[in-house]
């Protein structure tokens, strides 16, 4: 195997992601290298290839592998690998929209609902992205995402999540919006409806212009809706800071979820926010938390020190 083939420096720059299309892409060579690596259970070669290709290129490699070997690449990875590295490489092999759908499904599976993971995805994605993710969810699971969310949550929190799934930017006047929100706090019990309506239908510039000063009032709420409104406000103010905070939790599914989801989009911004928040680079933090081939795969996605 030619080590120069996997150098990440020969990649297309110009995005805020850390993983970019490999400029010397040769799917036939990748497929043959992967076939040999699977037979030898050579994790280093597998992670070197898959972390140095864009998701679109990985899909081409998977199809080429299928055509050449008559075998499924994902099945081969499951047979050759185990544990967190297996999970991570399978996640990298999943198309982005399907991956987000998978993360949402996992957040609602089993006993209890992972509200934080639901909020992470729904609060940091645009309305257009969420419509595409909803379509992918229905295609993969044969169920409507909105109905699943309603079935797993309740009350104002459910209303917030549904509003996020269907969010569209509607023009507003800051003064009127402020008056509307203040009036919602005048009764014996704070009314979450106006907050849900305004925070999910105005663009971030509008909200940051004058409404965020009122977010201290969200403390009048309690339970899941307070959590939901608090996370939404954080994401409106600075989504990268919020995601960096999530990474400090240092749980493997959270770290992998954020890094894979944002690797081709804006992981550089999250890295910068993490350094500002903690005083330590994400690259260094990963080395303190993980080990072995799993660590090497995460470092390849992170790419470099800051």
Summarize pLDDT for 289-298 with one digit per residue, the tens: 999 999 999 9
Domain end, chosen from 128, 162, 196, is at: 162
Q: Is residue 2 over pLDDT 50?
A: no
Could you tell me if residue 8 is inside a domain?
Answer: no
One domain, residues 107 and 81? no
Which residues face 22 on adjacent strands? Answer: 11
In this structure, are 105 and 84 located in the same domain?
Answer: no
Q: Are 209 and 262 in the same domain?
A: no
3-state helix, strand, coil in the chain (%, to 5): 70, 0, 30
pLDDT over threshold 70, residue 6: no
Question: Which percentage of the chain shows pLDDT scores above 70?
Answer: 93
| 225 falls within a domain | yes
Q: How far is CA 196 from the centre of its chain?
A: 22
- Looking at the structure, tell me whether residues 81 and 43 fall in a common domain: yes
Cα separation, 168 vs 60, in Å, equals 34
3-state helix/strand/coil string of 151-164: HHCCHHHHHHHHHH
Distance CA 101, CA 109 (A): 12
What local confidence, expressed as pLDDT, does residue 183 receive?
87
Does residue 168 lie within any of the structural domains? Answer: no
Give per-residue pLDDT as tens, 15-55: 799 999 999 999 999 999 999 999 999 999 999 999 999 99
Phi and psi based region of residue 81 (left: phi greater than 0; alpha: psi -120 to 50; beta: remaining): beta
Q: Look up the pTM and report it.
A: 0.91
State whether 76 and 125 are in the same domain: no
Domain-located, residue 79: yes
Q: How many domains does the chain have?
A: 4
Report d(CA 52, CA 59) in Å as an integer. Answer: 13
Domain hosting 129: range is: 96-162
pLDDT classification of 3: cutoffs 50, 70, 90: very low
Domain boundary among 52, 67, 93: 93
Spatial separation of the C-alpha atoms in residues 118 and 103, rounded to whole Å:
8
């Amino acid at each position: 195997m030619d080590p120069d083939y996997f150098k990440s420096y020969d990649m297309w720059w110009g995005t805020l992601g850390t993983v970019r299309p490999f400029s010397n892409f040769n799917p036939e060579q990748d497929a043959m290298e992967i076939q040999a690596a699977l037979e030898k259970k050579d994790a280093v070669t597998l992670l070197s290839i898959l972390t140095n290709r864009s998701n679109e290129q990985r899909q081409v490699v998977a199809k080429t592998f299928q055509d050449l070997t008559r075998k499924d690449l994902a099945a081969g990875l499951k047979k050759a690998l185990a544990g967190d590295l297996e999970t991570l490489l399978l996640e990298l092999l999943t198309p982005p929209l399907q991956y987000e759908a998978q993360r949402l499904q996992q957040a609602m599976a089993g006993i209890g609902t992972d509200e934080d993971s639901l909020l992470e995805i729904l609060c940091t994605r645009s309305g257009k992205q969420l419509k595409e993710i909803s379509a992918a969810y229905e295609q993969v699971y044969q169920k409507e995402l909105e109905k699943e969310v309603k079935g797993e949550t309740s009350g104002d929190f459910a209303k917030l999540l549904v509003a996020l799934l269907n969010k569209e930017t509607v023009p507003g006047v800051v003064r009127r919006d402020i008056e509307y929100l203040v009036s919602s706090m005048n009764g014996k019990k704070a009314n979450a409806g106006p907050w849900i309506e305004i925070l999910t239908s105005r663009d971030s510039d509008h909200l940051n212009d004058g409404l965020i000063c009122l977010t201290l009032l969200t403390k009048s709420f309690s339970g899941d809706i307070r959590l939901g409104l608090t996370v939404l406000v954080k994401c409106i103010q600075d989504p990268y800071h919020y995601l960096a905070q999530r990474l400090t939790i240092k749980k493997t599914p959270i770290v992998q979820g954020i890094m894979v989801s944002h690797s081709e989009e804006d992981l550089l911004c999250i890295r910068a926010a993490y350094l500002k928040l903690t005083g330590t680079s994400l690259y260094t933090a990963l080395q303190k938390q993980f080990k072995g081939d799993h660590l090497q795969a995460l470092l390849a996605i992170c790419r470099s020190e800051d």
